[in-house]
Structure 1
């Protein structure tokens, strides 16, 4: 039997005090953790919102202002008012003349270390991706984090083909290939030494564009048809 147990048996009052003290310390610690979280949450949310806004302008060059949209289950878009972006799925970017530059789309998926959150820019007129940024990643420093820094890798997303066929689906799914083996406009040239992380980016974008791009393409066609109809009147 341990010395602490012996003391507890010999001094039950002291044992009770010790137990109460431990419970009290636990309660105070939990309270401080919750209080710290509540106090820092607004700042964390503000910083995330600022980082997201900056990323939108980065992946959609030429954008002057944006509009957040949500995505209905039937594939239609609905506008989200300023200050309520909890349902936002994507962001439309417009130039100074209110002409659509493209859409910034958030996506996420499993990387080597943890979930990777990204955002990419889509030009519906050219049917290509025109920008890409990592929003959140815990990939290995010096290896996996090359997906954020490697210039050759980032160049993949300046004109990545996501053309939609006549049946309304993507003609080719975006995939990552081994570094130096890219032959097609819808392929991402991977990173040697960061194979899993760069392949994860291809998987994330491949899945997201298969689901989202056809919807955006169809919505742009409808908007163009409305504009043409209005001009003819």
Structure 2
């Protein structure tokens, strides 16, 4: 089959998101799909190719998993027994540090192109003067980031602040970045290497452009005008 229609139940997100805004975000990420109107019960129909539907499903599952993990961490924090009043001040503060470190884990789901751009150009900005480490799982067009505090220092909320910076920056980049793909299929090995060498040499003239070489193509990501100029130079 060339296309399928699916009905999504978006009501599971209504407590954390404005559904209309979430739908708009999904539409921007899933341009290959067509969407019906959002129903009052939170259902919305989606039509498109099966692979595109699968990508959307994976994106929503990751988002739901992120919310679930946040709720579990919050529930655990409420279940922890209260400290005895007779504990000395130092012991109480140390316990707080340990518990804060346990709680300070966050998950962020990003578009892979945006993540790769941020990783190459902005990671130092996010992590400067913090005890936060980031691990990633790249799955096609969607990347999941796991943020965690690695030292028990008295700086509560550090991981959440890094997460918020990443999310804010990803929204800005979503509106400004574009990607062009230089296809290498049909070229012999020497010709492919020539294209990659040209791209490598041009990078110094376009310091804000990210170039990602693959076996069958080269992705060029950055500001639309610079990406356009870059690809024109490559194809001269």
Into which bin does the TM-score normalised by the smaller protein fall? under 0.3
The structure number with the bigger radius of gyration is 1
TM-score by length of 1: 0.24
| Greater relative CO, 1 or 2 (CA 8 Å, sep 6+) | 2
